């Protein structure tokens, strides 16, 4: 048998990527608006989770001028196995970022904005003060824009999370991401019950705030484990749950176990609604900030109906 002169080329990827089914596809609805959004983001030197996390919905959302801003840089101090955001030593905080975000929100004429961040374990407060400044500046420049934050877990940062709540965002979101049994492999730097506690505490601090969390499926979890996460989130008084398909970013990331069908997502959504969530978004392409503006309106309407 003749050996290859380039054996390195014969090595198979660590975690081969499964071919996407036909229902996993994004769409470009308005190319002019897409490039306008891209120009505003780039001209203000801003970071978006849409780009950094390789979101499958970027073309659709940016075509509607919807962008999710990621503050405190593009480098995360954690190394979650599912995430495409780069890991390393972050740079210093940009003191002008709150103004830049506020200006971009105004130029995009956003009625609802989602602001997230990388994990900043290197900061004493996990970046909560910076969140506070960004929210306040954004509201000052855009008084009619509702604000949703998707925060880190502020693990081992004490009551630092309260500073974010002091700025009174309209929605406080923190993703639980996966089931407890997969945490050490998928989200090794985080703790399942710490994330639950954060969501519960956020609601206790501000009863009027909408709380939100999301889970990915397709990582190897069981149906019963998904239902248990739903129960845990309801016990933490979470209002809104998002359920979406895990998409493996590369061969170096956590392996995809399987793709759930649209019908399976519909069933999970029906179960979640029956468990008492104020709002449920469950579909293959559902992500935390996907259709966030429309969902916020639904949250308000559903709360009024409930009361």
Q: CATH number of the domain that 53 lies in?
A: 3.20.20.70
In-domain check, residue 200: yes
pLDDT digits 0-9 by tens, 89-101: 999 999 999 999 9
Q: Which two tokens stand for residue 280?
A: 């449920």
What DSSP string describes 186-226?
HSTTS-HHHHHHHHHHHHHH-TTSEEEEEEEE-SS--HHHH
Specify if 79 maps to a domain.
yes
Residue that wins the pLDDT comparison between 249 and 164:
164
Range of the domain at 85: 27-306
Q: Establish if 15 belongs to a structural domain.
A: no
Q: Answer yes or no: is pLDDT of 85 > 90.
A: no
- For residues 113 and 68, give the distance between their C-alpha atoms in angstroms, rounded to a whole number: 7
Q: Does residue 50 form part of some domain? A: yes
Q: Judge contact between 177 and 213, C-beta under 8 A.
A: no
- The pLDDT, as a whole number, for residue 154 is 97
The number of domains in the chain is 1
**Domain presence at residue 11:** no
Q: pLDDT, tens digit, for every residue of 210-265? A: 999 999 999 999 999 999 999 999 999 999 999 999 999 889 999 999 999 999 99
- Whole-number Å distance between alpha carbons of 58 and 72: 21
pTM above 0.75, yes or no: yes
Confidence of residue 119 (pLDDT cuts 50, 70, 90): very high
Q: What is the pLDDT of residues 38-55, one digit of tens each?
A: 677 666 666 665 554 455
Flag whether 13 is in a domain: no
Q: Do the domain assignments include residue 246?
A: yes
User: Distance between CA atoms of 6 and 15, rounded to whole angstroms?
Assistant: 21
* Residue 114 forms part of a structural domain: yes
Sequence-separated (6 or more) residues with CB below 8 Å from residue 24: 56, 245, 247, 259, 284, 285
Predicted pLDDT at 11: 54
User: Residues 169-193: pLDDT tens digits?
Assistant: 999 999 999 999 999 999 999 999 9
Residue appearing with tokens 């392996």: 255
């Amino acid at each position: 048998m003749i050996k290859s002169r380039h054996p390195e080329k014969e090595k198979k990827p660590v975690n081969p990527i499964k071919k996407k089914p036909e229902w996993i596809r994004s769409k470009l609805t308005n190319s002019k608006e897409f490039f306008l959004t891209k120009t505003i983001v780039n001209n203000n030197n801003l970071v978006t989770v849409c780009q950094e996390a390789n979101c499958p919905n970027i073309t659709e959302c940016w075509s509607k001028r919807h962008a999710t801003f990621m503050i405190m840089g593009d480098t995360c101090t954690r190394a979650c196995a599912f995430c495409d955001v780069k890991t390393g030593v972050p740079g210093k905080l940009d003191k002008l970022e709150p103004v830049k975000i506020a200006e971009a929100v105004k130029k995009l004429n956003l009625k609802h904005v989602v602001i997230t961040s990388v994990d900043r374990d290197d900061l004493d407060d996990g970046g909560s003060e910076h969140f506070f400044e960004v929210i306040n500046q954004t509201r000052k420049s855009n008084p009619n824009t509702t604000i949703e934050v998707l925060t880190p877990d502020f693990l081992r940062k004490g009551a630092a999370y309260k500073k974010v709540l002091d700025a009174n965002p309209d929605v406080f979101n923190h993703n639980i991401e996966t089931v407890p049994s997969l945490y050490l492999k998928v989200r090794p730097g985080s703790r399942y019950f710490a994330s639950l506690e954060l969501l519960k505490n956020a609601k206790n601090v501000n009863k009027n705030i909408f709380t939100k969390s999301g889970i990915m499926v397709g990582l190897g979890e069981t149906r019963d484990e998904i239902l248990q996460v739903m129960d845990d989130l309801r016990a933490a008084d979470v209002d809104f749950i998002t359920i979406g398909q895990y998409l493996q970013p590369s061969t170096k990331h956590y392996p995809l176990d399987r793709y759930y069908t649209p019908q399976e997502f519909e069933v999970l959504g029906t179960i979640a609604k029956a468990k008492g969530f104020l709002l449920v978004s469950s579909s293959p392409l559902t992500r935390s900030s996907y259709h966030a503006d429309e969902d916020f309106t639904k949250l308000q309407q559903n709360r009024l109906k409930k009361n």
